[in-house]
Structure 1
């Protein structure tokens, strides 16, 4: 883990930060003010960035790779809520605002690189930049709406319909996510997903 300002790839990382969905509208001056807070983390597949049920929370800006948000019940059954790739972000802002433990984990699906900072620092930074806070809170609401729509889809659409919806919504992710992970997200078996693909139904 290295601060952006000290990282050997800092010039590339700075460009990646300016492409992030939340940060892309910021001036160079504001991005520079944020950099000293950001720590770069390189993740291997399966690494946990955030564990379900904790109170120590962070804000994540995805630079490379794919993360997943997932929940686990007491029987250790997992449900994937969403995938996020570069230029996107992950957060547990709603839980932080409500002063509740994190309701989900954030895990690396592939090899990944993120820039992160403690959530309380991120919130303090946003308070100094109201337009950034508005953009961020809109993105948080959009993600929550997306997760709700996906959950409804699992109940309303058949297997091919679920796969087609994912392809329509996330065309660039289909071939990048391990099929076992994607099948789990779509509430299918890996065999069903493979069969649909070979039958040319997707």
Structure 2
């Protein structure tokens, strides 16, 4: 865990932060004000960033790699809700606002580098930067809408349809994701996904 200013690759990290879907709204002086709260971490595939059911929450900015938001039921059955990658965010903002435990875990799908900060400090920063707050809250709503759309897709589309929808919406992730993870997200077996690909249906 290293502060941005102390990181040996701080110049690259600052460029990556400036490309983030929310932080790109920040002026230089605002980024400088935020930077002391951000720590940079490298993670391995399978590392757990946030555990479902906790109240201690953080804000994440993805610099490299792919994460997954995943919910687990009492029988340990998992459902993947989304795959944030570079320039994206992960957050438990809605749960924090409602005063409830986070309803999902955040796990590394690949090796990943993230910048993170306590959610309470991020919210305090937003309160004094209305333009960034508006962009962030829009992105949170966009993510929730996307997850709802995915849930509906699982019920309404057949297997090829689900795969085609993913390829249309997230073409940059299709080849990068481990096929086991992609199959789980689409509620398919890895064998079915492989068969569709081999038959030329995707």
TM over 0.5: yes
Measure the CA separation in 1 of the matches of 2:125 and 2:24: 16
SS in 1 for 2:172: coil
Could you tell me how far apart the structure 1 residues matched to 2:130 and 2:27 are? 13
Per the TM alignment, residue 25 of structure 1 is displaced from its structure 2 partner at its CA by 1.8
Look up the match of 2:181: 181
Q: Which residue of 2 aligns with 1:134?
A: 134
Structure 1 residue aligned with 2:36: 36
| 1:47 alignment counterpart | 47
Matches within 5 A, 1:152-163: 152-163=152-163
TM superposition score normalised by structure 1: 0.99
Q: Which residue of 2 aligns with 1:165?
A: 165
Are 2:25 and 2:131, in contact at CA under 8 Å, matched by a contact in 1? no
After TM superposition, the structure 1 = structure 2 runs for residues 1-202 of structure 1, keeping only pairs within 5 Å, are 1-202=1-202
Secondary structure of the corresponding residue to residue 24 of structure 2? coil
Across the aligned residues of Structure 1 and Structure 2, the Cα RMSD in angstroms comes to 0.4
Shift of 1:51: 0.2
How far apart, in 2, do the equivalents of 1:43 and 1:182 lie?
A: 20
SS of the residue aligned with 1:24?
helix
| Unpaired segments ≥5 residues, structure 1 | none
Instruction: Measure how far apart 1:26 and its partner are.
Output: 1.2
Gaps of 5+ in 2: none
Secondary structure of 1:84's match? coil
Instruction: Provide TM-score, normalisation by structure 2.
Output: 0.99
Give aligned pairs, total.
Answer: 202
Moved >2 Å (runs of 4+): none
**C-alpha displacement at 1:33, in angstroms?**
0.8
